[in-house]
């Protein structure tokens, strides 16, 4: 359906400037809540659910060759932290589409509380009393308790000596630690410690359950030893120091065995967490993993990772008090994951760390973001569009969604073709070029593309330059000029010596529609309905509010929501107004 040209001509003749005329009033698009799951990428969907437990965010990822899940260090080191959204954003070029927070961590020194295994490289040791989440090569999630059983043994010695921790500060007055290059440029500095630097023969990263031999190339005390590529540093704290100093002189040969007891063969990815929530399809509300009573029973925001019997992965975050929800405890979290169909599920860190990212935006609107040490990132290796800010373009020259700016992610070099097709209409080619890997901007300008109102499909197809199967992705888009130019005007009239405050809500319709006008508080709670599905003809309209709520004068910040329902569905605009005591306003004649 095309725009009402007679109405446009009438408005222009009346001297109404259409382009950007009401943008200064601050009207924004009012997006209706999706009724079902929303696609993030092919085979990856997101849904916001309102349940008895409160607001719950669920991402589902079906098994498939282009879809992957991997643990990551958010800041690139186990001794530093960064936000989940920044970790996802920095991986856009490799197809990242979202993520969920990972393990608990030491708040002061940032290191993970449990296991971190990245592509076979052992980054931190497991907490043996807690469940770790393992990613098997066939895509199955495993919930296991592991134990570091590693050690070092000097050539010629009959027995090995234990390694107690990896890439973390000392936690006791007597222990032996191992540092790898990913920890940072130098080991921590502290007294009562002796260190030896070892150059590994292979020059490769230290892999779990893969002994590596090397040569001692430097020794020292007090920490601060540099760690270069292909090197590790063994640090003995307190009473462990003399044995290290006597058995590993410069030039000595040593074998390091980073054994993880309980690690299944071929598993190269793992992240700590806990407690176990679901195993064999049965909820485990108390797995007895050494968490405190407060950690298990407090109602707070919580996140978890699970898997259904079909192989579909679940990433679930329940909101907590920070976003106005009551939160859930671990027993409720276990039941939630079972209800969502998980046959295996493990909790991740909770409270302020519990976050779910959709692209580089948080799923929970209005929530703050804490920096974390590790996370799980979901990726799709085919061409795809990120989430559209809006699925409805309203090119009616009011400065709101007149143009849609999005992007398409191209993971590998190839011929990219982007087209826009109207249902039962012609296809408009947006671009066709050899490109990638990159993220290309896509700008949809309805006027330039001569887009009339209706349903469109935005499609991208990538044919790799190196051969292989092409990938494609599409998103639905509606062009709807129905509702435009929301603005407000507040004023006070005198009647019988008393101030009579008013607020005119002005809008424009380009076609007949059923209009609803709602007053909400700043949090979005409905306070009053001024119109409910009232049919209005095309043209300009004014709805007047007497600025009262339950017969009391309204003061403060309010949201004015206008929704228009037409043959093209529902479109809406929102404006924020600040109302003061009407007695302080000058009356109009």
What's the pLDDT score for residue 338? 97
Q: CA–CA separation, 91 vs 362, rounded Å?
A: 16
Structure tokens given for 289: 């993993």
Q: Is the pLDDT of residue 17 over 80?
A: no
Residue 493 per-residue DSSP state: E
Model confidence at 589, in pLDDT bands (50, 70, 90)?
A: low
Q: What is the pLDDT of residues 115-141, one digit of tens each?
A: 999 999 999 999 999 999 999 999 999
Place of tokens 């307190």: 238
Q: What is the pLDDT of residues 228-285, one digit of tens each?
A: 999 999 999 999 999 999 999 999 999 999 999 999 999 999 999 999 999 999 999 7
Mean pLDDT of 512-523: 95
Q: CA–CA separation, 149 vs 257, rounded Å?
A: 8
Place of tokens 């692209």: 359
Give the residue from 212, 289, 214, 281 showing the smallest Cα distance to 250.
Answer: 214
Q: CA–CA separation, 266 vs 152, rounded Å?
A: 23
What's the pLDDT score for residue 158? 87
Kindly tell me the sign of the dihedral angle through the C-alpha atoms of 67, 89, 92, 28.
Answer: positive
Kindly tell me the sign of the dihedral angle through the C-alpha atoms of 130, 133, 137, 138.
Answer: positive
**End-to-end Cα, the chain, rounded Å:** 43
Peptide bond into 395 cis (omega under 30): no
What's the pLDDT score for residue 508? 96
Q: CA–CA separation, 517 vs 551, rounded Å?
A: 18
On average, the pLDDT of the chain sits at: 91
Structure tokens given for 368: 């703050």
Residue 53 backbone class (left: φ over 0; alpha: ψ -120 to 50; beta: rest): alpha
Neighbours of 161 (CB within 10 A): 17
Structure tokens given for 359: 């692209």
Mean pLDDT of 64-84: 96
Q: CA–CA separation, 172 vs 398, rounded Å?
A: 65
What's the pLDDT score for residue 27? 85
Percent of the chain scoring above 70 in pLDDT: 94
| Cβ contact 176:162 at 8 Å | yes
Give the residue from 6, 11, 98 showing the smallest Cα distance to 57.
Answer: 98
Model confidence at 587, in pLDDT bands (50, 70, 90)?
A: low
Tally of CA atoms within 13 A in the half-sphere of 585 that contains its CB: 21
Q: CA–CA separation, 225 vs 454, rounded Å?
A: 66
Q: Is the pLDDT of residue 582 over 80?
A: no
Mean pLDDT of 540-557: 94
Mean pLDDT of 165-175: 95
Give the residue from 232, 257, 260, 227 showing the smallest Cα distance to 152.
Answer: 257
Q: What is the pLDDT of residues 464-494, one digit of tens each?
A: 998 889 999 999 999 999 999 999 999 988 7
Mean pLDDT of 156-184: 95
| Cβ contact 113:107 at 8 Å | no
> Which domains occur in the chain, in start order?
43-122+264-380 (no CATH), 150-258 (no CATH), 383-479 (2.60.40.2550), 483-584 (2.60.40.4070)
| Cβ contact 331:285 at 8 Å | yes
Q: Is the pLDDT of residue 510 over 90?
A: yes
Q: What are phi and psi of 443, to 5 degrees?
A: -115, 125
| Cβ contact 506:542 at 8 Å | yes
Q: Is the pLDDT of residue 146 over 80?
A: yes
Q: What is the pLDDT of residues 204-229, one digit of tens each?
A: 888 999 999 999 999 999 999 999 99
Mean pLDDT of 413-436: 91
Model confidence at 588, in pLDDT bands (50, 70, 90)?
A: low
Q: What is the pLDDT of residues 350-368, one digit of tens each?
A: 999 999 999 999 999 777 8
Strands (E), 262-395: 269-272, 276-279, 282-283, 302-308, 313-318, 342-350, 356-358, 361-362, 374-380, 392-393
């Amino acid at each position: 359906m095309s725009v009402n040209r007679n109405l446009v001509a009438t408005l222009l003749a009346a001297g109404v400037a259409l382009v950007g005329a009401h943008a200064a009033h601050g009207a924004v698009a009012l997006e209706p809540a999706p009724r079902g799951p929303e696609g993030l990428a092919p085979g990856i969907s997101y849904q916001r659910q309102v349940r008895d437990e409160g607001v719950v965010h669920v991402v589902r990822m079906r098994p498939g060759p282009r879809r992957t899940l991997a643990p990551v260090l958010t800041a690139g080191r186990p001794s530093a932290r960064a936000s989940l959204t920044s970790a996802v954003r920095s991986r856009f070029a490799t197809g990242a589409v979202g993520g969920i927070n990972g393990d608990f961590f030491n708040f002061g020194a940032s290191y993970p509380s449990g296991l971190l295994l990245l592509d076979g490289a052992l980054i931190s040791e497991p907490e043996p009393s807690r469940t770790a989440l393992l990613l098997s090569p066939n895509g199955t999630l495993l919930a296991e308790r592991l134990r570091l059983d590693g050690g070092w043994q000097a050539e010629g010695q009959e027995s090995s000596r234990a390694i107690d921790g990896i890439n973390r500060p000392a936690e006791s007055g007597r222990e032996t630690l191992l540092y790898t290059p990913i920890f940072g440029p130098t080991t921590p500095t502290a007294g009562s410690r002796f260190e030896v630097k070892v150059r590994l023969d292979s020059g490769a990263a230290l892999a779990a359950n893969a002994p590596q031999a090397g040569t001692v190339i430097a020794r020292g005390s007090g920490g601060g030893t540099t760690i270069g590529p292909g090197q590790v540093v063994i640090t003995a704290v307190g009473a462990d120091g003399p044995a290290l100093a006597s058995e590993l002189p410069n030039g000595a040969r040593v074998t390091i065995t980073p054994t993880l007891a309980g690690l299944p063969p071929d598993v190269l990815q793992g992240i700590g967490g806990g407690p176990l929530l679901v195993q064999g399809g049965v909820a485990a509300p108390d797995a007895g993993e050494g968490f405190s009573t407060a950690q298990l029973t407090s109602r707070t925001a919580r996140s978890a990772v699970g898997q259904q019997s079909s192989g579909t992965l679940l990433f679930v975050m329940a909101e907590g008090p920070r976003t106005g929800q009551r939160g859930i405890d671990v027993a409720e979290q276990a039941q939630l994951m079972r209800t969502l169909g998980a046959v295996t599920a493990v909790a991740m860190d909770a409270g302020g760390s519990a976050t779910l990212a959709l692209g580089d935006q948080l799923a929970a609107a209005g929530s703050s973001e804490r920096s974390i040490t590790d996370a799980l990132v979901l990726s799709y290796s085919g061409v795809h569009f990120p989430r559209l800010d809006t699925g409805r373009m309203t090119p009616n020259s009011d400065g709101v969604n007149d143009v849609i700016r999005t992007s398409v992610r191209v993971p590998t070099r190839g011929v990219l073709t982007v087209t826009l097709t109207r249902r039962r209409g012609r296809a408009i080619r947006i671009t066709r070029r050899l490109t990638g890997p990159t993220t290309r901007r896509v700008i949809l300008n309805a006027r330039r593309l001569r887009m009339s109102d209706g349903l469109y499909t935005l499609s991208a197809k990538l044919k790799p330059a190196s051969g292989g199967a092409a990938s494609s992705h599409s998103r639905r888009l509606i062009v709807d000029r129905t509702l435009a130019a929301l603005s407000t005007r507040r004023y006070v009239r005198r009647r019988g010596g008393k101030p009579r405050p008013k607020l005119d809500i002005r809008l424009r319709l380009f076609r007949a529609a059923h209009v609803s006008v709602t007053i909400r508080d700043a949090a979005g709670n409905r306070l009053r309905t001024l119109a409910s599905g009232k049919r209005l003809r095309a043209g300009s309209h004014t709805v007047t509010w007497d600025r009262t709520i339950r017969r009391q004068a309204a003061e403060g910040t309010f949201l004015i929501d206008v929704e228009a329902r037409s043959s093209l569905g529902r479109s809406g605009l929102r404006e924020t107004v600040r109302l003061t005591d009407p007695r302080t306003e000058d009356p109009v004649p």
